[in-house]
Amino acid sequence: MFGVGMPELIIILVIMLLFFGPAKIPQLGSALGGAIKGFRKATNEEPVEVARNQE
């Protein structure tokens, strides 16, 4: 997984707790999940033709 093991993930989690606090972590996770969901939805949609009738 990109060369990131369990010790590195624990260190990242501890740093996040220090910077954002335990109350903000669920909000950040929710925002990140929503952004990833929106990105996947946008990449899976077929391209929309902007100008169909150019004469």
How many domains does one find in the chain? 1
Q: Is residue 3 pLDDT above 70, yes or no?
A: yes
Residues 6+ apart with CB under 8 A from 16: 25, 28
Backbone angles phi, psi at 3, to 5 degrees: 75, 15
Residue 55 is assigned to a structural domain of this protein: no
Residues 6+ apart with CB under 8 A from 28: 16, 20
pLDDT of 13 reads 86
pLDDT per position as a tens digit, 20-53: 888 888 888 899 899 989 888 888 876 665 555 5
Banded model confidence at residue 54, pLDDT cuts 50, 70, 90? low
Eight-state DSSP code of residue 49: P
Residue 28 is assigned to a structural domain of this protein: yes
Choice between 49 and 12, residue whose per-residue pLDDT is larger:
12
Residue 32 is assigned to a structural domain of this protein: yes
Residue 14 is assigned to a structural domain of this protein: yes
User: Which domain covers residue 12, as residue numbers?
Assistant: 6-42
